[in-house]
């Protein structure tokens, strides 16, 4: 990810556009985070993140909790309150329906030839192909940013949550998408499939940010290049 953001547009989440506070709240849905974590994922200075967190705490959206550390200054983690969580209703009906329909379409011969480990992968691939088929022709934006926002909109309706960010660092410009997507952790082994989904829908090269190639990563950042 770019370390310096000279220009930032509001993150896109579903049919809503959100500014810096929205980015912070969106990230805290995934897991409690420190100021450093939030600064890394948003590309915003830690001092700025802290100011926004103070406002969110005041408004009852975010809770601050101390974490024990052996040495140094006390560490704090921030998480959403019940009030904050209610701002993000989730709709998994579309995705669940797709998964169930693909399971029902499998024949006895197909299921018997698949091992316990390969059956989830088979279902995953079938759902992925169906999503690409259903939405690829509907991505019509003129710019990569517009296309990424359209993808985020459609996937949100399926219960798959991606955020969109446009970064400019000097002469370098890039569109990024981040979030859990269809996977929760890098070690699940499904990251390549998520890259494929975005690549096909965007008609672009999609790779995972280098710093996300580690066990325990909860939020993945996808770099988009034409």
CA distances from 70 to 65, 67, 152, 171 (A): 16, 10, 41, 43
pLDDT-based confidence at residue 47 (cuts at 50, 70, 90): very high
Segment 170-193 mean pLDDT:
65
Chain centroid to Cα 132, Å, comes to: 18
Packing angle between helix 35-42 and helix 20-28, nearest 10 degrees?
120
Q: Is the pLDDT of residue 90 over 70?
A: no
> What does the pLDDT read at residue 194?
83
pLDDT-based confidence at residue 1 (cuts at 50, 70, 90): very low
DSSP-assigned letter for residue 142:
S
- Which listed CATH number (3.40.50, 3.30.1380, 3.30.1040, 1.10.600) goes with 90-226? 3.30.1380
Q: Is the pTM of this model over 0.75?
A: no
Lowest mean pLDDT among 4-8, 10-14, 65-69, 94-98: 4-8
pLDDT-based confidence at residue 13 (cuts at 50, 70, 90): very low
**For the chain, what is the mean pLDDT?**
76
Q: How far apart are the first and last CA of the chain?
A: 16
**Domain locations in the chain?**
1-88, 90-226
- 39, 46 Cβ separation under 8 angstroms: yes
Does the domain made of 1-88 have the CATH classification 1.10.10.10?
A: yes
């Amino acid at each position: 990810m770019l370390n310096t953001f000279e220009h930032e547009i509001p993150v896109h989440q579903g049919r809503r556009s959100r500014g810096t506070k929205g980015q912070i709240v969106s990230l805290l849905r995934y897991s409690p985070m420190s100021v450093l974590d939030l600064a890394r994922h948003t590309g915003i200075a830690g001092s700025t993140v802290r100011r926004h967190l103070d406002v969110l705490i005041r408004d009852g959206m975010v809770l601050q909790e101390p974490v024990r550390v052996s040495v140094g200054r006390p560490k704090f983690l921030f998480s959403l309150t019940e009030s904050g969580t209610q701002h993000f209703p989730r709709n998994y009906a579309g995705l669940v329906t797709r998964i169930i329909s693909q399971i029902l379409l499998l024949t006895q011969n197909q299921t018997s030839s698949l091992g316990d480990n390969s059956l989830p992968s088979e279902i995953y691939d079938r759902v992925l192909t169906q999503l690409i088929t259903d939405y690829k022709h509907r991505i019509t934006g003129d710019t990569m940013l517009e296309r990424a926002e359209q993808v985020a909109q459609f996937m949100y309706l399926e219960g798959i949550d991606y955020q969109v960010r446009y970064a400019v660092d000097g002469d370098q410009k890039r569109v990024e998408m981040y979030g859990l997507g269809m996977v929760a952790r890098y070690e699940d082994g499904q990251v390549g499939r998520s890259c494929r989904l975005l690549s096909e829908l965007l008609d672009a090269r999609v790779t995972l940010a280098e710093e996300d190639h580690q066990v325990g990563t909860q939020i993945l950042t996808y770099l988009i290049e034409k």
